[in-house]
Amino acid sequence: MIQATELPRSTPEAQGIASSAIQAFIDAIEQSSLGVHSFLLIRNGHNVAEGWWKPYAADLPHSMFSVSKSFTSTAIGLAISEGRLSLDDSVISFFPAYVTPEIRENMGALQVRHLLSMSTGHAEDTFPAMTGSTDDEWARVFLSLPITYTPGTHFLYNTGATFMLSAILQSLTGQTLVEYLQPRLFQPLGIEAPFWQANKKGIALGGTGLHIRTVDLAKFGLLYLQRGVWNGQRLVPEAWIEEATRAHISNGDDPNSDWSQGYGFQFWRSRHNAYRGDGAFGQFCVVMPQYNAILAMTSGTTDMQGILNAVWDHLLPGMNEAALPEQAGATDALSERLAQLALPLPKSLDSAPATAERIAGRTIRLEKNEVHMHEVSFTFGEDTSTFKVRDDKGEEYSVHCGRTDWTLDSTPLWSYSAPSSPLRIAAHGGWSDEHTFVMDWQYIETPFRHIITFDFQDDRIDVSVELDLPFWTKRVERFQGHLG
């Protein structure tokens, strides 16, 4: 059991893992282009391997998406241990101001345990109705939605249910999830500056929206593996660890799917007697009690099962109960591999073509488009290009793009988190041929990217913007412009 907020380090072999198995795992996720951004592997309480694919980095928080649900579950477990509520409490009892006879008839049987186990009885996720409503009282929207099945009998992944857990906690404590968890979880684990997105009423989204580092995610998993004890102090009741991570409801019968092994209280059961916090696009906190191991990962993928298959196929066979003989060559090779992890840079010409000189500094006027770019211009340096844009509201932005490496920057352009809220990016820009300039923007605190292509043909420009933002994956906008 670890005794500090920092994770002790060890060679893989000292903890019974072959360095070659970790190399094989990296090979598998890279060869299959699974879009992993980072991972941290813990065995026997020790950090045995960690890596970030540049431009992602250890000090950067990453959006957790639905891994957030497991933290919300933990907050509810702590509140139950403090006597603030129980699993059997009626959901409507926390929102008396919203209860009408119709809501009482529809929601009267719904309990806290049903929110936790995704068995509310709804036929579809309630979250889109809540976020799309003009009513800022999301709890009232949730309570007004019809229940189709008897609560507790039907599994449906329902992010709106997790928001209700957040709303219940805030109604009981007067604190947001971050405020409540700060002294109870985040501070003892050394999780610095956690951020949780909230709705307009200031209630944390609960089911999504948490931003923390990969190491923070690993610590959370290790706390659960240690059954709620950290640094000799009990942070979470052992009974809650047991209850939250066992299967409460069936969610399928495919033996080869990690989404059909049962669902707990905001935790997924997995193959190999594991369980996990799990977020869209490949955010994972996989707890493997049988192997005394944790794997925390951040990604930007649509093949989440492929990532877990790589874990089961390559990491697990390399785990042994006893320490292995040290192999300096294998250990050094793994360390070098981890230090050199990087997303592939787009291929581009070694030097700027004549087109660059022709368009540099000139205004490019664009036809009306869905990404709100009105005018743009480029300047080209030896190692960096600058892209300037004026949107259709007259706001001006600029992004610096590296030619031979990523350049760090930030921009509020196309921000999904809040209007005019800048997002950190790493940008690359290069000429793919004599008349085509391509920019690759990686949003390095999220799974997402943009690829923006300008094809210059005389005074006409063909523009393509490949958007990769939440649930818009691979949406491509095409339009034209001309040189002013």
pLDDT, position 416: 53
Identity of residue 45 = G
Q: Which run of H or of E encompasses 219?
A: helix 214-225
Strand order from edge to edge, sheet including 293-299: 46-52, 36-43, 293-299, 283-288, 275-279, 268-269
Our CA angle for 38, 280, 472, nearest 5°, is 110
pLDDT, position 459: 81
DSSP conformation letters of 390-436: EETTS-EEEEEEESSS-EEEEE-TT-SSSTT--EEEEEEEEEEETTE
DSSP conformation letters of 31-86: HTT--EEEEEEEETTEEEEEEE-BT--TTS-EE-GGGHHHHHHHHHHHHHHTTS--
Mapped onto helix, strand or coil, the DSSP state of residue 461 is strand
Our CA angle for 97, 101, 102, nearest 5°, is 105
List the chain pLDDT tens, one digit each, 484 residues: 444 568 999 999 999 999 999 999 999 999 999 999 999 999 999 999 999 999 999 999 999 999 999 999 999 999 999 999 999 999 999 999 999 999 999 999 999 999 999 999 999 999 999 999 999 999 999 999 999 999 999 999 999 999 999 999 999 999 999 999 999 999 999 999 999 999 999 999 999 999 999 999 999 999 999 999 999 999 999 999 999 999 999 999 999 999 999 999 999 999 999 999 999 999 999 999 999 999 999 999 989 999 999 999 999 999 999 999 998 999 999 999 999 999 999 899 999 999 999 999 999 999 999 888 999 999 999 999 999 999 988 999 999 999 999 999 999 887 654 455 789 999 999 999 999 999 999 999 999 899 999 999 988 999 999 977 545 456 789 999 999 8
Q: Which run of H or of E encompasses 441?
A: strand 436-443
Residues found in the chain: 484
- Sequence-distant (6+) residues with CB within 8 A of 194 are 178, 181, 182, 186, 210, 211, 212, 216
Give the Å distances, CA to CA, from 70 to 78, 196, 464. 12, 13, 38
Cα 334 to Cα 330: distance, rounded to the nearest angstrom: 6
Q: Following CA atoms 152, 155, 159, 164 in sequence, which dihedral angle do they give, to the nearest 10 degrees?
A: 0
Query: How many other C-beta atoms are found inside a 10 Å radius of the C-beta of residue 459?
Result: 13
Give bridge partners of residue 229 from the DSSP assignment: 234
Cα 294 to Cα 301: distance, rounded to the nearest angstrom: 20
Cα 41 to Cα 22: distance, rounded to the nearest angstrom: 9
Residue 327: CA count within 13 A, CB half-sphere: 16
Q: What are phi and psi of 43, to 5 degrees?
A: -135, 130
Residue 99: CA count within 13 A, CB half-sphere: 12
pLDDT, position 3: 42
pLDDT, position 94: 98
- Sequence-distant (6+) residues with CB within 8 A of 405 are 345, 428
C-alpha of 445 from chain center: 9
Print burial letters for 20-47: b (CB count within 10 Å at least 16), e (below 16): bbbbbbbebbeeeebbbbbbbbbbbbbb
Cα 269 to Cα 285: distance, rounded to the nearest angstrom: 12
Cα 71 to Cα 277: distance, rounded to the nearest angstrom: 9
- Sequence-distant (6+) residues with CB within 8 A of 80 are 86, 87, 240
Cα 193 to Cα 182: distance, rounded to the nearest angstrom: 10
Cα 247 to Cα 45: distance, rounded to the nearest angstrom: 25
Cα 269 to Cα 263: distance, rounded to the nearest angstrom: 6
> What domains, with CATH codes, occur in the chain?
13-60+213-339 (3.40.710.10), 354-483 (2.40.128.20)
In 273-393, beta strands by DSSP E = 275-279, 283-288, 293-299, 364-366, 373-380, 384-391
Our CA angle for 305, 310, 314, nearest 5°, is 155
Query: Where do we find the tokens 């581009």?
Result: 348
Cα 333 to Cα 19: distance, rounded to the nearest angstrom: 9
